[in-house]
Structure 1
């Protein structure tokens, strides 16, 4: 786990570059007027939120009051009350998204795509759920019906997140692929949920070969041994989705606003990006060169 001081230094270095440019843009387009600085800096607030998602805690209130306030009072001399901290958290959503963008991995030619459901409430509570009423939608995944959103990810063989997009739960997995794959260069591996001749043709025109498994009632595809081997390695992105939910804690049912939901999700993605030991495939240079030739 990355140390708190190291995390703060990395976040602060980013904010020193990003925040002045962002505030200048807000002033120029009239979105925001000049405001005095708060007691806690953006870097400090971001550090605490990210560290929560790296801590294995499941309740931010207990983490803030029972851990940060007691253990790191000297590191954060201007620490706010819990209620005030919640009030200022939404202002870090844009910097957090920009920070995540700076941490994303680069395409390697071996990428995997998958989606995972982000439930916002239990199915029996859907009729009386108010926070995301009119925003979240019902969808169906491998584990059945759910109410909420979908997180679509593309990762490389190093286990790094290359692209990410959030949609409502009723959006088909194939819809965001063209946008997500715009930065890719070679092969993209997915499950049978991404079967689409039109999508495959569109990606091929852009230099990306979409390779998927087939359904039981379909004829087997002719493909190289390499592609068959890579399809069998799709567990890497499934492992990443599992870690995002159970370690980075991107999914829970206690959200009170859309901003809170998005901040929780992006902070969890950032926490994963900062992990030292990510799930990865041990592909040698010889194997990667063979991929280029193939």
Structure 2
């Protein structure tokens, strides 16, 4: 759980960003001729809603309703101007999807250090026995296959550095190839140096395309491929690829990124974004100690 100082710091960052976001939205949004406003403004600001979602995913609670009623309304009420009912809070969640995504992208993500890890993890929206009767994500979620078997839902693609800090993320349907996000410039815009991945990312065209952009993808070879020479540093990095596997594990088992009872796509997006934001605020992240020796060789400890 975040300390009071961290909560205050997080709220100040979110509040300043939301003020800037509102100014930009008012500047570039077309204004309506209607003078009457049919929807009253919320007593909770966007920053407060974002803070509650981040605190929920950092708390270890599995149910948002229990967290809101037992924790926020009773023990954290002094942190907010005016608490609304749980039903009203659920209605307000969808309003923070865009500002929360931009807040993560612009404020919370880490910086590339020249060593990055990429991987994807499935986000199941229902059990396989209920695929044919599932209606919430019909036409959006797709069937996919991972190391654990077939699933129905989405994929969360992540890039992190050796410190465990997230560098970028992308959400795709479950049937999208793991290599597809690496073809988008926006996903690898600030990535350079070595990009460590598993065998699913092997591709000659992908390797050449990334190499032109200053990215060297490092993977193990499949059983039916010919052997190739590999530097000692690359072998060591492949042995430390568990860093991003640990990140995925913490997102699922601590921050509750995977939830199978969503009632709308907007709430699903807010849940995933809240999880990523909460992870970015974790005081301890999985990391490896990387040092460059005097002869420019890489050493891992």
TM-score by length of 2: 0.91
Query: Residue 74 of structure 2: SS of its match in structure 1?
Result: helix
**Residue 205 of structure 1: which of 212, 215, 236 is its match?**
212
State the 1:118 CA deviation.
0.5
Name the counterpart of 2:2: 2
Structure 2 counterparts to residues 154-193 of structure 1, below 5 A: 154-179=159-184, 180-193=187-200
Cα distance between partner residues in 1 of 2:74 and 2:295 = 49
State the 1:181 CA deviation.
2.3
Query: Residue 134 of structure 1: SS of its match in structure 2?
Result: coil
Name the counterpart of 1:107: 112
Unaligned 5+ runs, structure 1: none
Name the counterpart of 2:230: 223
Report if the CA contact (8 A) 1:19-1:95 is conserved.
Answer: no
Cα distance between partner residues in 2 of 1:90 and 1:23 = 19
Name the counterpart of 1:84: 88
Name the counterpart of 1:248: 255
- Over 3 Å counting, the alpha-carbon distance change for 1:288 and 1:6 in structure 2 is farther
State the 1:13 CA deviation.
2.6
Structure 2 counterparts to residues 13-162 of structure 1, below 5 A: 13-27=16-30, 37-102=41-106, 103-162=108-167
State the 1:64 CA deviation.
0.4
State the 1:221 CA deviation.
2.4
State the 1:28 CA deviation.
6.0
State the 1:214 CA deviation.
1.1
Query: Residue 167 of structure 1: SS of its match in structure 2?
Result: strand
Cα distance between partner residues in 2 of 1:43 and 1:284 = 39
State the 1:72 CA deviation.
1.7
Unaligned 5+ runs, structure 2: none
- Over 3 Å counting, the alpha-carbon distance change for 1:289 and 1:26 in structure 2 is farther
Query: Residue 112 of structure 1: SS of its match in structure 2?
Result: strand
Query: Residue 176 of structure 1: SS of its match in structure 2?
Result: helix
State the 1:167 CA deviation.
0.6
State the 1:119 CA deviation.
0.3
Cα distance between partner residues in 1 of 2:60 and 2:295 = 35
Cα distance between partner residues in 2 of 1:131 and 1:193 = 30
- Cα RMSD (Å) of the superposition? 2.0
Cα distance between partner residues in 1 of 2:228 and 2:19 = 51
- Over 3 Å counting, the alpha-carbon distance change for 1:120 and 1:58 in structure 2 is same
State the 1:96 CA deviation.
0.4
Report if the CA contact (8 A) 2:43-2:81 is conserved.
Answer: no
Cα distance between partner residues in 2 of 1:214 and 1:148 = 29
Report if the CA contact (8 A) 1:188-1:209 is conserved.
Answer: yes
Cα distance between partner residues in 2 of 1:75 and 1:260 = 24
Cα distance between partner residues in 2 of 1:5 and 1:204 = 43
Cα distance between partner residues in 2 of 1:24 and 1:113 = 37
Cα distance between partner residues in 1 of 2:294 and 2:221 = 25
TM-score by length of 1: 0.93
State the 1:27 CA deviation.
3.9
Report if the CA contact (8 A) 2:166-2:280 is conserved.
Answer: yes
